Amino acid sequence: MPNQAPRSADSVCVVIPMYNGADSIEQTLTSLARQTRLPDHVIVIDDGSTDDGPQRVRDFVAPFRLTLLQQANEGQASARNHGMRHSAETFVAMLDADDQWHPRKLELQLALYDELTRQGRPVGLIDCYAQVNYSDGRRQLDDRLKHGRHFYDFIHANVVNGVSTALVKRDVIMQLGGFDASLRYSEDRFMWTRIAEHWEIHTVPEVLLERTVNGGNMTANPKKYYQNKIRFIEVYLARYGAQLTRQQRIDFELGNHTDFLEAFSRRGEHDQVIGVYRRMLDCSWQTLFFANGKPTLRYLYALARNLRKATASTTAH
C-alpha cells in the first residue's frame, strides 16, 4: 500500500456498476486499494451479470469496507442510484468496472475541494484529466478544464472527462433525485448538466484515470444506442428547452445527431446516415452548413453509394 495522505474529515464512497465485469473488476478494485487516500466505502452493484464477476468481488481482500449489491439488469443509471441509496458518505465517486484510477486521484480531488470551499465556492463536482485507451490500440487524452459555471457548455458536449473521473457531493446528487433511470445513454451528461445548473464544476489538471473503451461502445455499435440518444435529446429539451435560445436548441439537437451520423458513416451504414441526416433537416435547415458542412458531405456520399449499389443491382439483373 502506498504512503497514506493525511485524511480529510470528509468521507468518500466509490460506486461501481458492474455488468459481466469479471475480466476487469479485480484490477479496478486494486486501483482503489492503491489510493494514497483510501476510500471509506466501496459499493459494487452487480447489474444482472451472468459471469463470475460477483464472486470475484466477494473474494477480493480490500483495505476498505467493500459491499456487493445485486439487482436485475436495469442499466448503469439504476445501478448507480441503487449504490448511492446504500451510501452515507460525504462524497460519491463514480467508477466503471473496467476503469482504473491513478494512486493520487482521491487525494488531489479532495484537496482541491477543500481549497475551493475555503474560498466560498459552491462546488458540486470535481473531475480530472483521463487517458482513454481503445481496444484497437488508439489512445486519447480527455483534458477539458473546468473552473466554475459550465451549464451552457453541456449544450455542445459532455464536458466532464468521463464518468469515472467524477467526485460529487452526495447531498447534491441525492437532492436532484439521482440519475434518470429512464435513460440508457448520456444519463451522466444529463446528471452533470443538472449539477452545473446550480453548482460549480472544477477539474484537477492531471491524468488520474485510465479509461477503457471496448467494442461494445457507441462507435462500434451506433445502431444499438441511437434510439437511446434520441430519448436523451427529448428528456433534455423537455427540461431545459425553455431556458435555451432557439439557436442553442438547434445546436444541441444537431450536435447530438451528428455524433451518430459520423459513427454510421465510418461503418459504411449508408441508410442510417441518410435517416439521421433527414432527421436533422427536420430540426433545422442549418443542417446544410452545420459542423462546416461535414454531415452534408457524408449524406451526399451515402446517397451516391446507395445509388451506385442500386445501379449495379439493376445491371446485374
Q: How far apart are CA 242 and CA 235, in angstroms?
A: 13
For 16, the grid coordinates are 461501481
Mean pLDDT for 233-258 is 96
Residues 6+ positions from 261 with CB-CB distance below 8 Å: 273, 276, 277, 280, 295, 298, 299
CA angle 44, 33, 178 (to 5 degrees): 35
Burial class of residue 111, CB neighbours in 10 A (0-12, 13-18, 19+): middle
Confidence band for 1, pLDDT divided at 50, 70 and 90: very low
* Alpha helix ranges (H) inside 136-287: 170-175, 187-198, 222-240, 246-266, 270-283
**What's the mean per-residue pLDDT of the chain?**
93
pLDDT (tens digit, 9 = 90+) per residue, 200-221?
999 999 999 999 887 666 666 8
pLDDT at residue 6 tops 90? no
The alpha carbon of 11 is separated from its chain's Cα centroid by a whole number of angstroms, namely 24
The residues, any chain, with a CB within 8 Å of residue 302's CB and separated by 6 or more, are 265, 270, 271, 273, 274, 277
Average the pLDDT over 237-259 and give the result: 96
Query: DSSP letter at 290?
Result: G
The CA distances from residue 287 to 14, 177, 267, in Å, are 42, 35, 21
> Residue 78: which pLDDT band, with cuts at 50, 70 and 90?
very high
Burial class (CB in 10 A: 0-12, 13-18, 19+), 173: buried
If one counts every other C-beta atom within 10 angstroms of the C-beta of residue 231, the result is: 17
- Contact indicator for 287, 278 with CB cutoff of 8 Å: no
Sequence letter at residue 133: N
pLDDT at residue number 177: 96
Query: What are the cell numbers at 229?
Result: 440518444
Burial class from Cβ neighbours inside 10 Å (0-12, 13-18, 19+) for residue 300 reads: middle
Mean pLDDT value across residues 240-257: 96
| 145, pLDDT greater than 60 | yes
CA distance linking residue 272 with residue 218, whole number of Å: 14
> In sequence order, which residues have a C-beta less than 8 Å from that of residue 114 and are 6 or more positions away?
8
Q: What is the pLDDT of residue 312?
A: 76
The secondary structure of residue 11, as a DSSP letter, is -
Beta bridge partners of 127: 203
Enumerate the β-bridge partners of residue 65.
Answer: 41
Pairing of strands 100-101, 167-169: unpaired
Average pLDDT value for residue range 48-62: 96
- Domains in the chain with CATH codes: 12-213 (3.90.550.10), 222-316 (no CATH)
- Region 77-89: mean pLDDT is 96
Is the pLDDT at 3 greater than 90, yes or no? no
Q: How far apart are CA 76 and CA 47, in angstroms?
A: 8
pLDDT exceeds cutoff 50 at 2: yes
Cα distance between residue 301 and residue 279, in whole Å: 17
Here the cell at position 124 is: 458540486
- Pick 287 or 8 by higher pLDDT: 287
pTM here is 0.90
**pLDDT tens digits for range 171-197:** 999 999 999 999 988 999 999 999 999
Residue 4, pLDDT > 80, answer: no
- Percent of the residues in the chain that have a pLDDT greater than 90, as a whole number: 87
